[in-house]
Structure 1
């Protein structure tokens, strides 16, 4: 994944988050706080292109703060997620795979908020690619409410049992603070040096 050329000094930050309308309001408020902080720091947003739940909240808050927003949504979800036509640029892709590829291509860094299986799929794809040295874009997981603690424990258990290498944790940063999340995104992270064993292991 090559880094996109930004039009200004800020980063294009891809935010992976929920589009469910059934979640607690605190998660939507967290997404809005992220959008506001992103704009305050002079970054632009790449999102999943929906205007509902956390996905919509982060985009609206980013625009309210003056940030440029790019939404990327597949045709099949454009009506279900109610496409964010207020985006500065709205890209409709044929399917989910091309959606993720377009989001990756347009982003300098990745921030993961609490979400469901779609968010987890996006997290693991970016995380895996960074472990394998396929990109060096910062990856930060923001989890102030402990939603992902069971996942963290699971990954530690997999590493303890040899299914994953301990260095998988070098490829991601975890935090419960919005400000620290952006500090980590803005901090240069070293490229992960993949080994032949990494590529040979199906589970990494």
Structure 2
């Protein structure tokens, strides 16, 4: 269980937009006002509470919501736009009565994305019954958030990894971010703490040294996980995608390369997602740099992960990534080298730098997976499946474990019905069991100092 979450002081406040939603028509204001009337209020409230709780130290969405039962938001319509009246808001989000600037920007980004997502779903243009339609939807969500910069050379490095890593791994992620920043790279993460903050923090210093102006620190999240990975204050572009699948596709569409640091079930889910896409025959010749890296102490972690990939997805999957341990400068150099190859490829194909249209994403990776007990139990985990489809189902298994660990709905399902059951062939469940047990022993399933109670049961 998590340590007790101590409620800090609360305040009442009124805030207006900054960084998003400053210029609105009266019709747009009315649409935003209707958030409290069309079923989106609870979603916005939970996202807002997570943003206001940045740095709280809890990874339990349910605990945060229960700690602030009196938190309330009123959306006030004015001729010049909107204001948000906050009641019983966490006081740590304010300094001398003023909301911290980054917090205010992210608060209105959340409102922007939640309302736009809902309005887009009602549009006749949106076609979610095809892969092309889903990709188009992701494109429009990112464009509405102004996260697509068309005339910019490829330099966006996505960094994935754990939100509750140890000090040495965190410092290493900062060092890698610093090396990337010195080479002019921007950083995109899941926007939370741990590895999602470290590379951004390192890059900010490097960008200052290199006098890089308008550096980008892009954070991509989704409502179900934002409380467990509340945005860190370095993020200067926050985008909330509607579900984990849209979030993952956004990562691979805007990123020019991906670095994976030590993590837990969520990091394994991300790795399996990307490997499954890269293993699809249509992506065989597509350059996409993928580097797994961490300090020397993380070598057992990467060795275990590498064995798992070998045992389940095979040697072709292993060819799609490189492991670099204990050398943050080499990791950055290899990433920049890979991004140069991406630039040459896209230039030759006349493909956009800001959105990876050439990448084929199978609908198995696009359709939302709801981690109910029934859906988890019927996942097919067999060696005779096409490897990219096996990777898709393994990704779904880890998605369910993440939900049972940290997401409000998943935690409630486990409390009501007990652990998920994951079924499959021994040749797959055996390596999976070894990997998950290693995560538990290395304290990668929960915050340090907490006892992990498995939310899953493997049945061979």
Give the whole-Å Cα distance in 1 for the aligned partners of 2:244 and 2:290. 21
- With over 3 angstroms needed to count, the CA separation of the structure-2 counterparts of 1:154 and 1:93, relative to structure 1, is closer
Residue 292 of structure 2 is aligned to residue 138 of structure 1: no
- With over 3 angstroms needed to count, the CA separation of the structure-2 counterparts of 1:14 and 1:151, relative to structure 1, is same
- With over 3 angstroms needed to count, the CA separation of the structure-2 counterparts of 1:55 and 1:186, relative to structure 1, is same
Structure 1 counterpart of 2:229: 81
Give the whole-Å Cα distance in 2 for the aligned partners of 1:152 and 1:126. 15
Point out which structure has higher relative CO (alpha carbons under 8 A, 6+ apart). 1
> 1:74 deviation in Å?
1.1
Q: Say which of 312, 323, 330 aligns to 1:180.
A: 330
Q: Contact 1:100–1:122 (CA<8 Å) still a contact in 2?
A: yes
Per mean C-alpha deviation after superposition, the further-off stretch among 142-151 and 118-127 is 142-151
What stretches of structure 1 of length at least 5 have no aligned partner?
Answer: 192-197
> 1:169 deviation in Å?
2.1
Give the whole-Å Cα distance in 2 for the aligned partners of 1:12 and 1:164. 28
Q: Say which of 59, 67, 71 aligns to 2:219.
A: 71
TM-score, normalization: structure 1? 0.79
> 1:142 deviation in Å?
0.6
What stretches of structure 2 of length at least 5 have no aligned partner?
Answer: 1-134, 136-147, 208-214, 346-383, 392-460
Structure 1 counterpart of 2:46: none
Report how many aligned residue pairs link the two structures.
Answer: 188
Give the whole-Å Cα distance in 1 for the aligned partners of 2:151 and 2:186. 10
Bigger radius of gyration: 2
SS of the residue aligned with 2:307? helix
Give the whole-Å Cα distance in 1 for the aligned partners of 2:309 and 2:330. 23
Structure 2 counterpart of 1:194: none
Give the whole-Å Cα distance in 1 for the aligned partners of 2:256 and 2:385. 24
Give the whole-Å Cα distance in 2 for the aligned partners of 1:109 and 1:28. 20
Q: How does 1:90-169 map to 2 (within 5 A)?
A: 90-132=238-280, 133-134=282-283, 135-144=286-295, 145-146=298-299, 147-156=301-310, 158=311, 164-169=313-318
Per mean C-alpha deviation after superposition, the further-off stretch among 77-86 and 169-178 is 77-86
Give the whole-Å Cα distance in 1 for the aligned partners of 2:163 and 2:263. 8
Q: How does 1:53-72 map to 2 (within 5 A)?
A: 53-66=194-207, 67-72=215-220
SS of the residue aligned with 2:292? strand
SS of the residue aligned with 1:141? strand
SS of the residue aligned with 1:75? coil
CA deviations 1:48-105 (Å, max 9, x no partner) are 011x222122222222322421001112333332213442211112222221111111
CA deviations 1:15-34 (Å, max 9, x no partner) are 001112xx321011011112
Give the whole-Å Cα distance in 1 for the aligned partners of 2:306 and 2:314. 14
SS of the residue aligned with 1:90? strand
> 1:8 deviation in Å?
4.1
Structure 1 counterpart of 2:180: 38
SS of the residue aligned with 2:255? coil
Q: Contact 2:221–2:241 (CA<8 Å) still a contact in 1?
A: yes
Q: Contact 2:154–2:256 (CA<8 Å) still a contact in 1?
A: no
Q: Say which of 159, 163, 177 aligns to 1:19.
A: 163
SS of the residue aligned with 1:174? strand
Give the whole-Å Cα distance in 2 for the aligned partners of 1:64 and 1:6. 26
Q: Contact 1:13–1:109 (CA<8 Å) still a contact in 2?
A: yes
Q: Contact 1:127–1:139 (CA<8 Å) still a contact in 2?
A: no
SS of the residue aligned with 2:263? coil
SS of the residue aligned with 1:62? helix
